[in-house]
A = this chain, B = another copy of it.
Amino acid sequence: MKIQVVENVQKANDEIAADNRAELRARGVASFNLMGSPGCGKTAWLERTLDVLASEMTVGVLTGDLATTRDAERIEAHTPHVVQINTGRGCHLEAHQVRQGMRNLDLDALDLLVIENVGNLICPVSWDLGQEAKVGMFSVPEGADKPAKHPYIVLAADLVVLNKADLLPHVPFDMDAFLGDLASIRADVPVLEVSAVQGTGLEPWLDWVRALVETVKAPPEAAPLA
CB distance from A145 to the nearest CB of B (A): 6
Measured between beta carbons, the chain B residues less than 8 angstroms from A149 are 38, 65-68, 70, 119
| Secondary structure type dominating chain A contacts | loop
Q: How many interface residues does chain A have, given as a range?
A: 35 or more
Residues in B whose Cβ lies below 8 Å from that of A186: none
Copies in the complex: 2
A187 interface residue per 8 A CB criterion: no
CB <8 Å contact, A70 and B148: yes
Q: Which of B8, B118, B146 contacts A39 (CB 8 A)?
A: B146
**Cross-chain contact B148 with A37 (CB below 8 angstroms):** no
Does A197 touch B at the CB level, under 8 Å? yes
> When A139-B141, A171-B167, A172-B197 are in contact, do A91 and B120 touch as well, CB less than 8 Å?
yes
Residues of A within 8 A of B (CB): 1-2, 5, 8-9, 37-40, 65-68, 70, 89, 91, 118-123, 126, 139, 141-143, 145-146, 148-152, 164, 166-167, 170-172, 197
